[in-house]
Amino acid sequence: MIKAKNNSKLVFKNARIIDPCSGFDNLGDLIIEDRVIKDFGVNLLKNHIPDDAQIIDCERHILCPGFIDLGANIGEPGEEFKENINTASDAALASGITSIVCMPNTDPVIDQIPIIQYIEKRAKETNGVKIYPSAAITKNLEGTQLTEMGLLLEAGAILFSEANKVISNTKVMKQALTYAKNFDATIMISPQDPDLSKNGVMNGGALANRLGLPGIPKVAEIIQIERDLRLLESTGGKLHFINITTNDAIIAILNAKNKGLNVTCSTAPHYFSLDETAVDEWKTFAKVFPPLREYEDKEAIYKALVEDKIDIISSHHTPQDQDSKRLPFEQAEFGIIGFETLFPISLDLHTNGKMKLINLIDKLTYEPAKLLNLNTGKIKINAPADLTLIDINTPYQLILENMNSKSKNSLFDEYNVKGRILCTVVDGRIVYSEPSFEYN
């Protein structure tokens, strides 16, 4: 990793600048000064280059807003042996991610102001990726008593989630939606009915039966979504479903949007690039929650992204140490690391799925920024200079051991991909540079 010189002026020239917010997609230049975007456009440097600026020739590579990741597990506090804020920051920046929302299932749970303050303090000390804490909806993620949402929002919580849990008590979930609406706060749910998914370790079906493993049926997702959509219809407010894995879920959410409900959804790359057969021979690196589904659902998620029926792509970064994964399948922990595979795996939607590149970048930048009410995720004059520079043409291989995450639980080792992150900028500072990428 290469840190930038202490220079308040940066100039990116000869870049293909893509900004989904404005629809700008053209070859041009961009100037950063005092942590913000000073100007950008076509032939911007034709007559003048700012004095004392650090010049970066982008060689026609993609320059776009930095990615914003909705659902990351960063390990700290409580599981620093799996990941910590320093290693999570390094891995995120190497992935072109400039902002992450960390999940509340830490130890202790993010349900009190001092925990939010701790995370914000550690993020400032790291001085890398921007970290926005999500707070628990219920105290200790137990699903019974609501947290003090108003106070947690004032302290810095950006949304409310139960991480991989849901609130099984319908009355409590209705109260949560009502309470959150009063503060214009977003509720984010990973939808899996707790009774139907209890003790399940992979997708329910013929393969699970053949392997002798307890399954999580697809209906567990749709039942939870339909219940929560009914509650949203009666309460109003904002609801986001993370980690969508089934075609039925897409249909239900689209119907709710057509009714005018304020609902959005996201999925992760492993749900549109892998299916349940990755579990074959009890491969624990393929044990994720929610589980990898059948081929048909994987294809449906892929198609829904291309057709703009899913709003956001997030990493679902869940680091696990070797001792947690190298166990019998039923005992192994759920999870896969996702930062450094987020864009390379997602790029297939463009290269093979024929999705417009600007639309793909939108799902990684402006759409999550809108959901979180952040003034990032866009290339705009006076907006924070959070950017990533990407080579989408040169093939390379994902090598697990070379990844920056402290844990190495990934199924994408030795995958041949494109989409290498060349450079990441946060608040006008080059905080990551790919070793082979040279600039003055």
The two tokens of residue 356 are 């417009």
In whole angstroms, give the CA distance from residue 422 to residue 97: 12
- 165 within some domain: yes
Claim to verify: residue 266 and residue 205 sit in the same structural domain: yes
Claim to verify: residue 234 and residue 358 sit in the same structural domain: yes
**Domain termination residue (choose one: 340, 372, 404):** 372
Q: How many domains does the chain have?
A: 2
Claim to verify: residue 256 and residue 279 sit in the same structural domain: yes
Claim to verify: residue 172 and residue 161 sit in the same structural domain: yes
Q: List, for residues 299-328, the tens digit of each pLDDT value.
A: 999 999 999 999 999 999 999 999 999 999
- 439 within some domain: no
The answer on pLDDT for 175 being more than 60 is yes
Claim to verify: residue 46 and residue 98 sit in the same structural domain: no
| Stated pTM of the model | 0.95
- 300 within some domain: yes
- 3 within some domain: no
- 377 within some domain: no
In whole angstroms, give the CA distance from residue 251 to residue 257: 10
The sign of the dihedral angle between the CA atoms of 364, 365, 370, 371 is positive
The domain that holds 152 is classified in CATH as 3.20.20.140
Which residues lie below 8 Å from residue 421, measured CB to CB, with a gap of 6+?
Answer: 94, 95, 96, 343, 388, 389, 390, 432, 434
The answer on pLDDT for 3 being more than 90 is no
The answer on pLDDT for 396 being more than 90 is yes
**At CA 12, angle to CA 10 and CA 18, rounded to 5?**
125
Claim to verify: residue 307 and residue 334 sit in the same structural domain: yes
- 4 within some domain: no
Claim to verify: residue 184 and residue 249 sit in the same structural domain: yes
**Domain termination residue (choose one: 372, 403, 419):** 372
Claim to verify: residue 234 and residue 352 sit in the same structural domain: yes
Question: Band of the pLDDT at 280, cuts 50, 70, 90?
Answer: confident
Q: What is the pLDDT of residue 439?
A: 65
Q: What is the pLDDT of residue 50?
A: 75
What is the mean pLDDT of the segment spanning 230-250? Answer: 97
On whether the CB atoms of residues 388 and 337 are closer than 8 A, the answer is no
Tell which wins on pLDDT, 280 or 129.
Answer: 129
Question: Band of the pLDDT at 267, cuts 50, 70, 90?
Answer: very high
The answer on pLDDT for 4 being more than 60 is no
Q: List, for residues 329-359, the tens digit of each pLDDT value.
A: 999 999 999 999 999 999 999 999 999 999 9
The answer on pLDDT for 47 being more than 90 is no
Claim to verify: residue 94 and residue 119 sit in the same structural domain: yes
In whole angstroms, give the CA distance from residue 154 to residue 51: 41
What is the mean pLDDT of the segment spanning 10-21? Answer: 96
Alpha helices (H) in 238-364, listed in sequence order: 247-258, 269-273, 295-306, 322-325, 342-346, 348-351, 357-364
Claim to verify: residue 364 and residue 226 sit in the same structural domain: yes
In whole angstroms, give the CA distance from residue 185 to residue 279: 37
Q: List, for residues 184-205, the tens digit of each pLDDT value.
A: 999 999 999 999 999 999 999 9
**Domain termination residue (choose one: 350, 372, 394):** 372
Eight-class DSSP state of 286? G
Question: Band of the pLDDT at 95, cuts 50, 70, 90?
Answer: very high
Q: List, for residues 103-125, the tens digit of each pLDDT value.
A: 999 999 999 999 999 999 999 99
Domain range holding 199?
Answer: 66-372
Coil vs helix vs strand at 239: strand
- 201 within some domain: yes
Claim to verify: residue 35 and residue 182 sit in the same structural domain: no
Residue 421 has φ and ψ, to the nearest 5°, of: -80, 120
Claim to verify: residue 229 and residue 269 sit in the same structural domain: yes
What is the residue-averaged pLDDT of the chain?
A: 95
- 438 within some domain: no
In whole angstroms, give the CA distance from residue 226 to residue 249: 8
The domain that holds 13 is classified in CATH as 2.30.40.10
